[in-house]
């Protein structure tokens, strides 16, 4: 059966070069990086080289990079530690953040931290005027703004420069969940006023179970996982050397090819949108995902004009036809809950219709796109 993978925002396939690099570490350089003998020193040198590479790719210093088990852990580390060790007592976030941020923010609320949510406009974008009002209201407090760069469900892009400037004006700390951004957009933390960002390697053709947090050197975080003194005491546990090396390799390749991949993937996205528009009357796009200037080139979230009985069969039908895509986001598939992002941006009427997220990568082809359009349009028009 033909299979087409269009769920790259959930996770991406590994690059062959990444697998090769990881195999070397898994096979022969298996020492514990904390050991002082030659095996340990070899593993340590892999980790510190990876740290240097990653830091230089985002304009940071190596000591500002903390390795974690992925995006969720890094989000938790930044938000919880900011409250515990940097005195943050007010958080400004949004209701369309990934649950890794949203639930952590709500956890902090349950511990007495004041939390407010910036207004989200009907197209899913942040109301920057309201953000400034919130910052001004809380100016006497120690504030943390946490807003994602690329929304993982609707693809909207945050104006990080603007948010950074606002945070600077009101002396607030700024964290951006950049899990869907790192490896797809160039970052230079020396040019943007940002205190924390984070990444997960599996979103840019690296391995699962590894990520990193960047923390500005003036904002030292405290550990959330304690035990051994790894990662300068900020994140305990024997480092996953092969994963860290794989992440650095994947990031290096993604960065070197970023412009080429952007043009290639953007062309696929445009082809998909045009295909759906020409074949499915009444198709609509959620958030700004069809606006190629204001949304990431990597995904589209479309709403289909289907009756509820047919809607129930949609994802099953796509799977049957070998197409991997996602309803809302992957984190929700299998769960009874609808998407909190779509609930925040769509009207009750729009919510009656099924929405699917399709996300693309350099490994997709025009044939993949045409096949997905054909399967979807056949289903909608039959
Ligand atoms: C925006 C965003 N933040 C955080 C995460 C969580 O990352 P991980 O699965 O690596 O923990 C994801 C994963 O989908 C994401 O899309």
How far apart CA 20 and CA 230 sit, in angstroms, is: 26
Structural domain that includes position 156: 16-256
Residue with tokens 């943390």: 144
pLDDT at residue 382, as a whole number: 87
Domain boundary among 239, 256, 273: 256
Question: Ligand 1 centre and the CA of 55: distance in Å?
Answer: 20
**Spatial CA neighbour of 200 closest among 179, 223, 172:** 179
Domain boundary among 217, 240, 256: 256
Are 99 and 230 in a shared domain? yes
| pLDDT-based confidence at residue 1 (cuts at 50, 70, 90) | confident
Question: Ligand 1 centre and the CA of 93: distance in Å?
Answer: 16
Active-site residues: which are they? 331
pLDDT digits (tens, 9 = 90+) for 124-168: 999 999 999 999 999 999 999 999 999 999 999 999 999 999 999
pLDDT digits (tens, 9 = 90+) for 286-334: 999 999 999 999 999 999 999 988 999 999 999 999 999 998 644 444 4
Are 48 and 189 in a shared domain? yes
**Spatial CA neighbour of 18 closest among 193, 199, 322, 252:** 252
Residue 132: phi and psi, rounded to 5, are: -65, -40
pLDDT at residue 332, as a whole number: 41
Q: How far is CA 131 from the centre of its chain?
A: 22
Contact 245, 46 (CB under 8 A): yes
Please give the share of the chain, as a percent, with pLDDT higher than 70. Answer: 97
Considering the chain, what is the average pLDDT of its residues?
Answer: 96
Question: Ligand 1 centre and the CA of 341: distance in Å?
Answer: 14
pLDDT at residue 328, as a whole number: 60
Are 31 and 70 in a shared domain? yes
In CATH, what number is assigned to the domain containing residue 268? 3.90.1150.10
| pLDDT-based confidence at residue 277 (cuts at 50, 70, 90) | very high
100 lines ligand 1 (CB under 6 A): yes
Q: How far is CA 250 from the centre of its chain?
A: 15
Contact 79, 175 (CB under 8 A): yes
pLDDT at residue 329, as a whole number: 46
Are 47 and 157 in a shared domain? yes
How far apart CA 23 and CA 48 sit, in angstroms, is: 18
Average pLDDT estimate for 363-381: 97
pTM of the full predicted structure?
0.96
Are 330 and 247 in a shared domain? no
Neighbours of 350 (CB within 10 A): 14
In CATH, what number is assigned to the domain containing residue 197? 3.40.640.10
pLDDT at residue 338, as a whole number: 84
Are 178 and 244 in a shared domain? yes
Are 262 and 304 in a shared domain? yes
Average pLDDT estimate for 175-192: 98
Q: How far is CA 10 from the centre of its chain?
A: 9
207 lines ligand 1 (CB under 6 A): no
Going by alpha carbons, the residue nearest to atom 15 of ligand 1 is 179
Average pLDDT estimate for 335-349: 86
Q: Is the pLDDT higher at 55 or at 328?
A: 55
pLDDT at residue 330, as a whole number: 43
Neighbours of 363 (CB within 10 A): 13
152 lines ligand 1 (CB under 6 A): yes
Average pLDDT estimate for 354-377: 98
Residue 198: phi and psi, rounded to 5, are: -155, 160
Going by alpha carbons, the residue nearest to atom 5 of ligand 1 is 71
pLDDT digits (tens, 9 = 90+) for 211-258: 999 999 999 899 999 999 999 999 999 999 999 999 999 999 999 999
Are 208 and 292 in a shared domain? no
Are 203 and 314 in a shared domain? no
Are 277 and 217 in a shared domain? no
Res 40 pLDDT > 90: yes
Going by alpha carbons, the residue nearest to atom 4 of ligand 1 is 71
Query: For residue 209, what is the DSSP state?
Result: S
How far apart CA 179 and CA 97 sit, in angstroms, is: 11
For a substitution probing ligand 1, which of 7, 12, 71, 326 has the most ligand atoms within 8 Å of its CB? Answer: 71
Are 217 and 261 in a shared domain? no
Question: Ligand 1 centre and the CA of 152: distance in Å?
Answer: 8
Question: Ligand 1 centre and the CA of 217: distance in Å?
Answer: 24
Contact 363, 336 (CB under 8 A): no
Question: What's the half-sphere exposure (Cβ side, CA atoms, 13 Å) at 141?
Answer: 18
Res 177 pLDDT > 80: yes
Are 222 and 266 in a shared domain? no
pLDDT at residue 334, as a whole number: 47
Domain count, the chain: 2
For a substitution probing ligand 1, which of 200, 202, 209, 331 has the most ligand atoms within 8 Å of its CB? Answer: 200
SS3 79: helix
Domain boundary among 256, 278, 299: 256
Surface-to-core class of residue 94, CB atoms within 10 Å of its CB (0-12 exposed, 13-18 middle, 19+ buried): buried
72 lines ligand 1 (CB under 6 A): yes
């Amino acid at each position: 059966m033909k299979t087409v993978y269009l769920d790259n925002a959930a996770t991406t396939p590994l690059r062959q070069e990444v697998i090769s690099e990881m195999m070397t570490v898994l096979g022969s350089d298996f020492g514990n990086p904390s050991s002082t003998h030659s095996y340990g020193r070899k593993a340590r040198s892999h980790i510190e080289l990876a740290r240097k590479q990653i830091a230089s790719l985002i304009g940071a210093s190596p000591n500002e990079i903390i390795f974690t088990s992925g995006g969720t852990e890094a989000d938790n580390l930044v938000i919880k530690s900011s409250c515990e060790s940097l005195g943050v007592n007010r958080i400004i976030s949004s209701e369309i953040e990934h649950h890794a941020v949203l639930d952590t923010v709500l956890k902090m609320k349950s511990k007495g931290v004041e939390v407010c949510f910036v207004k989200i406009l009907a197209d899913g974008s942040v109301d920057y005027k309201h953000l400034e009002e919130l910052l001004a209201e809380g100016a006497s407090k120690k504030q943390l703004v946490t807003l994602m760069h690329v929304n993982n469900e609707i693809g909207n892009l945050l104006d990080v420069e603007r948010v950074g400037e606002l945070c600077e004006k009101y002396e607030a700390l700024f964290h951006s969940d950049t899990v869907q951004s790192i490896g797809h957009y160039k970052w230079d933390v020396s040019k943007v006023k940002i205190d924390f960002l984070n990444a997960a390697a599996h979103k840019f053709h690296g391995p699962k179970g590894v990520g990193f947090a960047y923390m500005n050197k003036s904002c030292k975080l405290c550990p959330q996982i304690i035990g051994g003194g790894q990662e300068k005491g900020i994140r305990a546990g024997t480092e996953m050397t092969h994963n860290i090396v794989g992440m650095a390799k994947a990031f290096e390749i993604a960065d070197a090819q970023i412009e080429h991949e952007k043009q290639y993937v953007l062309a696929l996205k445009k082809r998909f949108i045009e295909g759906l528009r020409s074949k499915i009357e009444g198709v609509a796009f959620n958030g700004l995902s069809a606006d190629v200037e204001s949304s990431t080139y990597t995904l589209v979230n479309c709403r289909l004009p289907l009756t509820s009985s047919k809607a129930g069969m949609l994802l099953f039908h796509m799977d049957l036809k070998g197409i991997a895509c996602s309803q809302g986001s992957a984190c929700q598939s299998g769960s009874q809950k609808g998407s909190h992002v779509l609930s925040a941006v769509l009207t009750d009427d729009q919510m009656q219709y099924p929405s699917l997220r399709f996300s693309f990568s350099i490994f997709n082809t025009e044939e993949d796109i045409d096949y997905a359009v054909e399967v979807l349009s056949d289903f909608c028009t039959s």
